[in-house]
Structure 1
């Protein structure tokens, strides 16, 4: 582990009974970096993220978050984490401002109503403060969810397919919020099925398949490394090699359930 790493995962293995969901996975996420974890359905992305979150106990390997070993200092490690899941499960009958007040209290963050209104103003939701959370659109809910995930100013933010189902405008706005986290020197680990998202916002990516990391590089570095591979050329459909072409060539054309 280097001083620049906010997250270090080394030799991680996660099993469900006899099924090995994650096998000897290693990667690191640096300070001020957006790191993407890409893979087909069932490849091990969510299991890896769940182990980092502390929701799953790994069978082997180490996870270090902001210098804290997740096994020996779980509370310290979790205190450095902010988590946004793909589907939000906040109290739908609470007003938006009440949801923010609730989670500020849970995290022990001193925040007055005017502070929270200023936060809502930053994400263009000041006029929705007295709307019930369940009345917000999907994009609006994702914006609030990201605020809650980062309300305690965590060193590492975990995002599980954060832009799934969003329209282009909402997706771009969420990308800007994610990039702002990086600009503050914090780190982001996100899972995504969107190759456009990976190319647009990720500094580095890892492709995981059948529970193993099969490639780690910058998006462009991965394209440059594999653009002459016959398998990549064979699947290319756009006249130029894209990250999606490389992804399909490395993980196969078969649809995963």
Structure 2
């Protein structure tokens, strides 16, 4: 494992009109990341994703817990840990007034790269940035800035890269382009720890992931295994009496869940179960206004583990 973290905790004290308030941002997180995989941390804003990554990146000190990063102890060898990883924050960290080349070169010198000029040229070419390398940061698009930020994080060729919400604010085309870049990192052998609140991003990119909520891990596994754990298919119904519909359909389903005015029915085989569900509703006089049959999603996993939808937090897309 390139990352082994156990029982990480972090508490902050904030000030308000009512006086000091204690916030438990991370409440005992365990992570194990294998070499060469993309590992995701999925959850809503405020779930503890960024705090967890900042602790692992040595930017803030855990209140409790231990971690080994690329063979080095997080608390005893922070300098060695920093030399073995790249970190790209949510903001990206690209300066407006300095050229992309100069910023990457500065990072190479900070990490004491043997030949900063050559390392800079190589990483700029790797991310198709050579043609815009001598432009100041303020002239770059959002997608170009993200690629520059990743180049800064990788110029010293670390085996591990932390990406904290890397596609936030990007348009669909730039998101897709950055997804391709992240997958290329895996193919080159770089391990990636990716935090995101986008369901499709976690599903498409991550070999394994944890779902976090209120500073705790509530689920862990591959996206496919987590979705199978919930159910093979989900039938979403809008009816005039959701509670009576749930009681009626309960014996025909693995699970039913009320989500505001929607009823989600989890079944193993939606196509064959659907006719029976419709007959049961008709026999009970439950009026149906809409119905949809879908494969389970990571949002269904989040709903099953937390009792609410990740989409309802305003974080998912």
TM-score by length of 1: 0.90
Q: CA deviation at 1:240?
A: 2.5
* Distance (whole Å) between structure 2 residues aligned to residue 186 and residue 123 of structure 1: 15
Deviations 1:24-65 (CA, angstroms, capped at 9, x unpaired): 211211101100001112111111111111122212110110
3-state SS in 2 of match to 1:86: coil
Which of 227-236 and 106-115 deviates more?
Answer: 227-236
1:174 is aligned to 2:204: no
Contact kept in structure 1, 2:167 and 2:175, CA below 8 Å? yes
Deviations 1:145-191 (CA, angstroms, capped at 9, x unpaired): 11111111112111001011212222222122222222232311111
CA 1:48–1:235 in 2, change beyond 3 Å: closer, same or farther?
farther
* Distance (whole Å) between structure 1 residues aligned to residue 191 and residue 144 of structure 2: 23
* Distance (whole Å) between structure 1 residues aligned to residue 99 and residue 314 of structure 2: 39
Q: CA deviation at 1:92?
A: 1.3
Name 1:239's counterpart in structure 2.
294
- Please state which structure has a larger fraction of its residues in strand: 2
> Which consecutive unaligned segments of at least 5 residues does structure 2 have?
14-21, 232-253, 267-291
CA 1:93–1:221 in 2, change beyond 3 Å: closer, same or farther?
same
1:68 is aligned to 2:91: no
* Distance (whole Å) between structure 1 residues aligned to residue 123 and residue 211 of structure 2: 35
Which structure is richer in relative contact order (CA contacts within 8 A, separation 6 or more)? 1
1:36 is aligned to 2:53: no
* Correspondence list, 1:56-135, <5 A: 56-111=60-115, 113=117, 116-135=120-139
Contact kept in structure 1, 2:89 and 2:165, CA below 8 Å? yes
> Which consecutive unaligned segments of at least 5 residues does structure 1 have?
none
* Distance (whole Å) between structure 2 residues aligned to residue 187 and residue 235 of structure 1: 37
Question: Which of 4, 7, 22 is the equivalent residue of 2:3?
Answer: 7
Q: CA deviation at 1:113?
A: 4.5
* Distance (whole Å) between structure 1 residues aligned to residue 155 and residue 293 of structure 2: 42
3-state SS in 1 of match to 2:264: helix
* Distance (whole Å) between structure 2 residues aligned to residue 112 and residue 194 of structure 1: 35
* Distance (whole Å) between structure 1 residues aligned to residue 120 and residue 142 of structure 2: 20
Question: Which of 147, 162, 185 is the equivalent residue of 2:166?
Answer: 162
Q: CA RMSD of the aligned region, Å?
A: 2.2
Question: Which of 195, 216, 232 is the equivalent residue of 1:191?
Answer: 195
Name 2:51's counterpart in structure 1.
47
Question: Which of 7, 20, 27 is the equivalent residue of 1:23?
Answer: 27
Contact kept in structure 1, 2:108 and 2:120, CA below 8 Å? no
* Distance (whole Å) between structure 1 residues aligned to residue 161 and residue 67 of structure 2: 15
Q: CA deviation at 1:143?
A: 0.5
* Distance (whole Å) between structure 1 residues aligned to residue 144 and residue 265 of structure 2: 37
1:255 is aligned to 2:313: yes
Indicate the structure (1 or 2) with the bigger Cα radius of gyration: 2
Name 1:136's counterpart in structure 2.
140
Name 2:237's counterpart in structure 1.
none
